[in-house]
Structures are given as C-alpha cells and as structure tokens.
Structure 1
Amino acid sequence: MTSYLIGIDNGSQSTKVTIFDERGTPVSRGRHALRPTDTPAQGVVEHPDDDLWDSVAAACREAMAVFDGDPAAIVGAGLCTIRFCRALLRADGTLARPVLSWMDERVSRPYEHTDDSVARVTTSSGYITHRLTGEFRDTAANYQGMWPIDTDTWQWSQDRQVVESMGIAPEKLFELVMPGEVLGRITADAAERTGLPQGLPVVATANDKAVEALGSGLRGSEQLLLSLGTYIASMTTGERNIRDGREFWTNFGCAPREYLYESGGIRRGMWTVSWLRDLLGEEVTAGARRAGVTAEQYLDAGAAQVPAGSDGLMTVLDWLAPTETPHRKGSFLGFDGRQGRFHLHRSVLEGIALTMRDRAGALGDELGTGFERVIVSGGGAGADVMMGIVADVFGVPAARTAVTDAAGLGAAICAGVGLGRFAGIDEAVAAMVSVDEEFLPDAANHELYARQLEVHRDITRHTDEVFRRSAQIFG
C-alpha cells in the first residue's frame, strides 16, 4: 500500500500543507494566506491574534479535504515554521500576546520579562507543536539568535552567564529534540481543528531555511542554494560549527550535527517584485488579461525581451534596509529614456541575482570552496527569465526542482527519515527530490554581468551619504 508523508510549511506570507507520496510526488495541497502583520509602534511587528495557528489549521483542512487516499496510509507529518519568531505563552500553552515576527526588533534583543502571565517562551515551531500535540517540546534546530542554546551540543547552555544574558529562566524553556525525532502526536482537539488523523506522529525538522535546503536537495559544499523568498539568502552545508564567519553566519542544519552556512541576504527580496507589479497597476493587469496570463507571467515575458543589463538600469534592493545601515533606501539608477515597465521588472530580477552573486562569492571564498551549481528555490524559481538571469550572473548551471515548495518537501523528508521510512537523509533525498529543469549560462551575458557586478557592488558606497542625509529629513 502506498504511504504518504505530510509537509507543513508555515512561511512568512502563507502556510502551505502538502501531502506527498514516498517518491516526493505531491498528491494533495492546501494553502492559507497569513494576515498582514500589525505594527502598532516603531520596531514592533506582530502576527495578529492567533494567525499562525489559524493558518496552519486552515491549510491542513484544505489539504485533507482534497486528499483522495486512505488517511490511515498517512504515516507522519513534518513541521516547519518561520524562524526567528518569539512566542510568549501562558501556563496552558495559549498565547499571552501575539507572536513576535522575525522583523520585530525585540527578537534581536534578550527577552525582557514584563508580563507575569508569561509562563513559557518559545519559537513559532514550539508554539505550533504545542497546538498540534499538547507537548511543550520543540526542535533544537530552530533556536538561533537570542536563545541560551549551545550550538555545539544542540542543547540548552549550561553556562550560567549565557543563560542570564538571554533573560529567559530555564523553567520557561521547552524540551529540545533533534531533527527527525517525534515531537508528539495529533491530539483529539487538533484533529478536529486540522482534519489530520488523531494520533498521527508530528516530527521535528529545523529552521525554515535549513528545511528548504533539504527539500531542494542541497547535500554538499560544491552546491549553492539560492532561496528566493520574502527574505532572499544563499547557503551551503557543512559539518563544522564555524562561530566567527565574516561573510556568513552558521545556522543549524536539518540533520543532527550538520550546519547551514548562510550568506548575507536581501530583506523584502521577492516582496519587491510583488511591490513593483502592484505599483504598475492596471497597465500590467490589463496587458495580462489580454494575453490570458497572470500579471507575473506578463512581466516575465516582457522582461525576457529586454537585453541583459536592462539598458543600464540598475536596482539596489534596500526597500527594507539592513539592520547595520538603517539609513539605506531602495533605488533605481540609470534612467535615460530607453527603459519601460519591463526594464524595471528585469532590473529588479538582475539586482537580486547580482547582489546574491556578490554575497555568495564572499561566502565561498571564506569557506574555500567554489560552487559548481546553483539550486534555485522559492516562487521566483518558476520563472524561466529569473532562472536564466541566475545562470548568466553566476556563470554556472542553475537548477530548479520539480517541487516548488521545497520547505514542505524537506519537512516531509524529515518525517520519513525520522519514522524509519528511509535508511537516512541521503536515501530520502535521492528518492523524493528531482530536478525539473537546468539552465546553462550564456557566455556573452555572463561576461557583461561580470563587468556590471563591479559597478553594482560599488553603488552603496556613493549613495550611503545621500541617504544618510535624507534620512534626517524624511526618516
């Protein structure tokens, strides 16, 4: 009898739940958008009400409603949620206040206990685990940042100074398990809310980027993953816990004692693509209607006709400034009358690729490795024009996988390995991850982009002073 694995992918913009067979084929999907975050004060960014749990429950119900297999053949679910969130819980596990987004300034600071109703402090994965299973248990691999975690042992630190510096009393922390271990089983209440079978094992994964890397088939330092999400990052894997990287930071991986090396990224990365689409408005939507395609497909088709380099139009993607340079702003440079809406779109895509080529190059140089292939994941990977730009900018083949929800597939892989359906992660990846298409670089375009990269990486050196001064006027 065919067996099935569920991948729960609670992302920054939506929750996606996919039921896979053991060959990695999606057989049922559910998706529920998250509500816009609340920003009641400067630096405060919260998920309203109980939105994370509501979205998980709704997406699970949708996936189960269209699943035409035998629910008894579903063997387990892997849980992956947004990283860097902070959830403050009462003693019964309900929210004492809305979940703090990864964009909230408070998550970059030690916890401050100002509400005596808070009995537990955890991540988004810890909170959703409790809602699904009733257990106060969480994956160790989603604790990066302001947590008293020992990144060598993957357990809570025993260093009293470290514990005190984080501000979280040990009794407020969840029990930690490793990726692939069972967090608990679906309770009767959770089964009613989600439609998932009562008693179904829920398996620990890691942080969302590590799970996405696993679901993309990233298994080796000669490969690079370019993750095109709300936050764009590039990453590779290794077994060393490198604490002092200059051009990257070390995160927990999706396998015990494996680490993810992540370059600097782009905040509001693919969000900028959507922002531009909406800004162009009816002009684009009307063209898309006439062509019988989506607005994104219309812009992609037009951008494919624009020459590499967008006739000199360059984009700096600081629509949400890096934390270390809060004065920066996003910018388009190089208008001279040749450019139109499709140049704008292509320039944003090129800005993404050029920025990440620069940052991935710094990552590889410091690790002493070169990348022979770029795997591209996220919604942007579905556009041929974006894939071609990535191949041309990086100068190596760019591959996209058959399953676009890499985090969901990675979560299902974790569940399959943890429940003994595969002998190990490499066997599971070989069975469940496949490449849809590979794009080869164009030599002439690569040479042009290599020259443009030298200019592009230097732009902020000239614009920083302008934006520093204008920030005193406009904020």
Structure 2
Amino acid sequence: MTRYLVGIDNGSQSSKVTVFDERGGVVAEGRVPLRPNHTPAPGVVEHPDDDLWDSIAAACRIAMAAFSGDPAEIVGVGLCTIRFCRAVLRADGSLAQPVQSWMDARVSGPFAAERDDVAFVTSSSGYVTHRLTGRFRDAAANHQGVWPIDTDTWRWSDDPRAYTATGMRRDQLFELVDPGEVLGHVTPAAAAATGLPAGLPVVATANDKAVEALGCGLLDPTTLLVSLGTYIAGMSVGTRNRTGTDCWTNFGSEPGRYLYESGGIRRGMWTVSWFRDLLGPEAAAAAEAAGERVEERLNREAAAVPAGSDGLLAVLDWLAPSDATFRKGSLLGFDGRQGRAHVYRSILEGIAMTMRERTDAMAAELDTTHERVVVSGGGSSSDLMMQITADVFQREAIRMVGDGAAGRGAAICAAVATGVHPSFAEAVQAMVVERDRFRPDPGNAAVYDALRAVHADAAAHTDPLYRRTAAIVG
C-alpha cells in the first residue's frame, strides 16, 4: 500500500496544499490566493476576516478533489504557515480580531490587548492548528520574533522578565510541540470544511523559511540555500544557538537544529514582477501571440545580453531597509546600448550579487565554507536566473524537483511523525530529488567577480543623493 502525506504551505501570497506519495511525488494539489491585506491605519497590516483559514480550507478541498487515491491511505498532514504573524483569540479559539501580518508593526513589539475578550495570543500556525484539531497547541519552531520563548530549550521561558518584555502572560500561550510531532487530529468539523479525512494526524513543522529549507534537503552545514521569493534570503543549518551581526538564528525544522539566515532582499522577486508589469498588457499580448508567457520572452531576450548587462547595474533597495529609510533602488549606467532585456538581466544580476555579498558575510561569521548552492522559490524556475547564480557564486547551482519546497518540508515532518520514514535524514533522502545543476561559465564568472566590488560600493555613493531627495519629495 502506498502511503500519502499532505503538506500545507500558507505563504505570503497564497495557501497551497499538496498531496505527496511517500517518495515525494506530487499526486494532487490546490492553491488559493490570499486576499489583499487590510491596512486601515499606518503600521496596521491584517489578513481580512478569516482569510488564512478560508484559503487553507479551500486549497485543501481542491487538492482532495484532485486526489484519485483512497483517502484512508493518507496518513498525516504537516502544517506550515507564515512566520511572525500574530493571532489574538477568544476563549473558544475564535479570532478576537484579524490575524496580524508579519508586516504589521504591532508584531515587532510587546503585545497589548486591544479588546476585553482576549484569552490567547498565538502564531498563525497555532490558530490554524486549533481550527483543524480543536487543540490549543502550536509549533514551537514557528515562534520567531517577540515571544517569551527560550531558544535553547524550545519551550516557554522560566524567566518572568521575558513575559514582561513581550507583554504576554503564560496562561495566554499555547502548549508547544516540536517539529515532527503530532499537534492533534482533524476534527469532524474541520474535515467537513477541508475534505481532509477526520482523525488525520496534524503535525508540527517550523517557521516557513526553515520548512522550505527542509523541503530542499538542507541538512548539511556546507550547503547554502538561496530562496528566491518575495523576500530573498540565504540559509544554512547547524546545531549552535548563536547570535551575530551578519546572520540571525531561527529555529530549524528538526528538533535541536537551527537555521541561519543571511541578510536578504525585502522586495526580491517582487522587483522582477514589478518590471514585468511595467511593460504593460501590450508586452503580454505580444508574448502570448508568440506562444510564450512574458517572463519566458524576457528570459530569452536577456539570455542574449552579455554578463554585466553592458554596464547597467541594479541596486535592489526597492523597499528601503529600516536602518536607512531614505534609501531607494537604483538602475545605474544607462547608455544607448540598453533595452528592456538589459534592465531585466541587470535586476537578476543585482539579486545574485547582493546575495553573494550577504551569504559570504554569513559564512565568514559561521566560520564555514559553502561548497554547493541550492536555489528554491519562484525565481528558480528561470534557467537564466539559475545560470547567473552559478556564475556569480562560482559554484554549481542546484535545483530540486518540484516548486513547493515548504509544502514538501511539511510533508517530510508528517512522514517522520507517522513513521513513514524513521528519521528526518531518511525522509529527505527519499522525498527530495535533485532536478538539475547549472555549472559556472568561467568567462561570466570573471566579469561578475570584478563587478561585485562595484556593486557593493554603489549604495555608499547613492545614499547622499537619496538623503537629499527624501528631504524634498519623501
């Protein structure tokens, strides 16, 4: 009998539910976009109404409708949700107010009750766990940010000062569960809403970046993962709970293992989409008439542009960092040679050079060497982006089978919890399959090696200009 596992990936833009077989093959999936965030006041960014649960339930129904096997052969579901979110609940587990997005200013500070009927404060995974199981339990490893958690023990702190600092009481917090352990079981009401079998074990995972890393097979400290999503980050793993300046430490997706994350790009692949959309419907129509998507046409055109984009340099501060709010993104070096393909390629090159700089700093701080680079996220679907990454990092860039690494990582946790695979290492070996590799081109690598020093210096030269323009036009 083939056993099946469900991975729930509640991301920044959509909820995706995938049914995997025990070898990691995708057999059914459903995806439902999230509604636009509700922003009623500066700093307030909320998921409207009950959007997280509604989108997950709808995506589950789509996946289960597409599943042609026996539902009795589905043995577990792993739950992965967006990190840094905060859910405020009544005593019965219902939302007292909309779920606060990771972009909401309130989640970066101590909790302050805004209503009289608040009984619990939890993460988005805690809220969805309650909707699925009726239990007041949550994934320990999804508590990134302002929580009174002991990062050595993965449990709530014994220090009263931690509760004072976070504004939370111990009785307001859910019971914590480690990755790869059961949170509870799908209730009949949740089964009716989602189509998942009643009684199915719901398994704890971790924060979404750590789960994505697990779904890419990241178990070796010498492997670097570059995640090309809305937020771009470089990640590696280890067993030390450490602090630093060039990387920060998250809980990992395996008990006792930590995820190290480099500085990132806050509007990473979003910038690529921004440029695509600037071209307007005419470009999309022209691509469609030729049997292409506009992204495919841009990649094809940009592949014909030489490395370095004929001197065009992209500096990717389309969303300014919090310590330099005046900063803007830049496209430097226009002359008569460049067209839209140059702009597109320069953005991809800017992403790769920025991440090389930031992951090199992380590796130095961790006193390690990254011997290979795995690339995930939507940006990894571009062969051109993969080749540029290989050339800039001067390492083979590896792409795994499938485009849903977080969902796969969630299913891996479910496989361990239910005994489908006896360990995380064996589950990864069975369920994560390499798709292809891109080897560095020596000539292009030499160009990028020289350009990286220029790219790293660009902000120091543009910052004085942007300080002045910010004072005039904001």
Deviating more after overlay: 22-31 vs 362-371: 362-371
Name structure 1 gaps, 5 residues minimum: none
Name the counterpart of 1:397: 396
Matches of residues 443-458 of structure 1 in structure 2 within 5 Å? 443-458=442-457
Give distance in 1, aligned partners of 2:423 and 2:25: 19
Matches of residues 82-97 of structure 1 in structure 2 within 5 Å? 82-97=82-97
Name the counterpart of 2:232: 232
**Paired residue type of 1:115:** R
Find the residue that maps to 1:332 and give its secondary structure. strand
Give distance in 2, aligned partners of 1:329 and 1:50: 35
1:311 and 2:313 are equivalent in the alignment: no
Find the residue that maps to 1:457 and give its secondary structure. helix
**Paired residue type of 1:361:** D
**Offset from partner CA, 1:369-394 (integer Å, 9 cap, x none):** 11111000011111100000000000
**Paired residue type of 2:383:** D
Among all aligned residue pairs of Structure 1 and Structure 2, give the percentage whose two residues are the same amino acid.
64
**Offset from partner CA, 1:101-149 (integer Å, 9 cap, x none):** 1111111111112321221111111111111111110010001110000
Give distance in 1, aligned partners of 2:355 and 2:136: 38
**Offset from partner CA, 1:329-383 (integer Å, 9 cap, x none):** 1221111121111111111111111100000000011111111110000111111
Matches of residues 239-318 of structure 1 in structure 2 within 5 Å? 239-243=239-243, 245-318=244-317
Give distance in 2, aligned partners of 1:233 and 1:395: 18
CA shift at 1:305, angstroms?
1.1
Name the counterpart of 2:382: 383
Find the residue that maps to 2:301 and give its secondary structure. helix
CA shift at 1:155, angstroms?
0.3
Give distance in 2, aligned partners of 1:122 and 1:428: 29
Give distance in 2, aligned partners of 1:337 and 1:89: 58
**Paired residue type of 1:142:** N
Contact 1:291-1:298 within 8 A present in 2 as well: no
Contact 1:373-1:396 within 8 A present in 2 as well: yes
Find the residue that maps to 1:392 and give its secondary structure. helix
**Paired residue type of 1:152:** D
Name the counterpart of 2:212: 212
Deviating more after overlay: 107-116 vs 79-88: 107-116
Give distance in 2, aligned partners of 1:205 and 1:411: 6
Give distance in 1, aligned partners of 2:297 and 2:48: 34
Give distance in 1, aligned partners of 2:157 and 2:354: 36
**Paired residue type of 2:52:** L
CA shift at 1:290, angstroms?
2.3
**Offset from partner CA, 1:401-445 (integer Å, 9 cap, x none):** 001100000000000011111110110000000110100001111
Name structure 2 gaps, 5 residues minimum: none
Find the residue that maps to 2:24 and give its secondary structure. coil
Name the counterpart of 1:3: 3
What is the TM-score with the length of structure 1 in the denominator?
0.98
CA shift at 1:325, angstroms?
1.5
Contact 1:284-1:299 within 8 A present in 2 as well: no
Find the residue that maps to 1:458 and give its secondary structure. helix
Give distance in 1, aligned partners of 2:316 and 2:178: 36
Find the residue that maps to 2:415 and give its secondary structure. helix
Deviating more after overlay: 24-33 vs 35-44: 35-44
Deviating more after overlay: 212-221 vs 88-97: 88-97
Name the counterpart of 2:164: 164
Name the counterpart of 1:335: 334
- Alpha-carbon spacing, 1:127–1:270, altered in 2? closer, same or farther (3 Å): same
Name the counterpart of 1:425: 424
**Offset from partner CA, 1:32-72 (integer Å, 9 cap, x none):** 01111122222221111111111101110000001000000
**Offset from partner CA, 1:84-115 (integer Å, 9 cap, x none):** 11111111111111111111111111111232
Q: CA RMSD in A?
A: 1.0
Give distance in 1, aligned partners of 2:238 and 2:359: 15
Give distance in 1, aligned partners of 2:23 and 2:443: 39
Q: State the 4+ residue runs in structure 1 displaced beyond 4 angstroms.
A: none
Give distance in 2, aligned partners of 1:219 and 1:44: 37
**Paired residue type of 1:450:** D
**Offset from partner CA, 1:438-466 (integer Å, 9 cap, x none):** 00001111111011110111111111122
Contact 1:48-1:98 within 8 A present in 2 as well: yes
Name the counterpart of 2:29: 29
CA shift at 1:283, angstroms?
3.6
CA shift at 1:316, angstroms?
1.4
1:78 and 2:78 are equivalent in the alignment: yes
Deviating more after overlay: 3-12 vs 333-342: 333-342
Contact 1:150-1:157 within 8 A present in 2 as well: yes
CA shift at 1:473, angstroms?
2.6
Find the residue that maps to 2:227 and give its secondary structure. strand
Aligned residue-pair number: 474
1:41 and 2:50 are equivalent in the alignment: no
